[in-house]
Structure 1
Amino acid sequence: MPVTNPWLAGPSPEKRLDRERLSERILNLLSCQNMCVLATTGPGGPLATPVRYYHLDFTVMFTAAPRSPKMRNIAADPRVSVGIFAPLVGQASSRGAQVFGRARVLSPGEASHEEHWEAFRWQSDHVERSLSLDEPPGGPLVVVAAERIVYTEHWLRRDGYAPRQFWRADRVGDDAGT
């Protein structure tokens, strides 16, 4: 029987991408998607919430209602995981990232808020909701700077690379780092 992607058969390669190529692939994924699943932990256990995000380099950003369950959970424990993935049509198209970091809630007026707010595209949401483009939202901005990322892309197997790659913020001088 003919096989569409014979390179998917057999054991996975273990070769690692260099940091520059891995970073490029991760940034491409972050730029091509706009929805993620935010995982937090609260008194009732884990909570996984779909949110629309924007990114600035390896920092994922979103807004949320201050009294929402995810914001209560972040206030209690800022450690979060963010799952971002491309649509799956088969094993060869499997591509996604698990971003691990600490959520910071930035209020308007904070220096970091303005730096990140410039990259946040709130205007599309205002257009959808018939709100004025003269008045940006005034609520908090949540930013998650990636501390580590587990990146999965099965297409990498075609070129002899492991489908699961590991990126760490503290390993700037290394290759991809494992």
Structure 2
Amino acid sequence: MQLKADSGKDPEVLAQQMWRVTELLDAMGMLTIRAVQRAREDVIRRQQQELFELSTSVVKLWDGILALPMIGTQDSEPTQYVMESLLKRIVETGSDIAIIDITGVPTVDTLIAQHLLKTVTAIRLVGAECIISGSRPQIAQTIVHFGIDLEGVATRSTLADALILGAKQLRLVVAIRG
């Protein structure tokens, strides 16, 4: 009503004013949509980070033995974070053995295999030994197919077997029931 009164009886002026109002409302709508979209993306990013941190936490299994159970598909940025977390915990705890358990990793590609080797090297550089556990037949075949050399790296098929090996390396007495 106000636009009609402001434009007088000139339909062209009324149409221009209506067009300006429409453009203003469209711009406000787009601004609102973008703000909601950014807020949702921030929530998703935060949830992904929290989920990632939960799925890659370093666990102290025994005095001197840490484990990193890896879960899900890995890519370069998170695996860098994982390596840093593991190395930090090795230094903080003075652990001599780090077990990387890949049971929960569905596939290994060349990037992940190379990162695994870099992590093993970094673990050794901070004065600990690494045991890789949880390699299933298809992952073992993939690693061999890519020509990744794990010579000198202890491997075990299960986390339990890796823990037993780690305990032996630390000369701990482990009683196994069963």
Per the TM superposition, whether the score is higher than 0.5 is no
Q: TM-score normalised to the size of structure 1?
A: 0.22
| Greater RCO structure (CA 8 Å; 6+ sep) | 1
Bigger strand share: 1
For the pair shown, the structure with the greater C-alpha radius of gyration is 2
Q: TM-score normalised to the size of structure 2?
A: 0.22
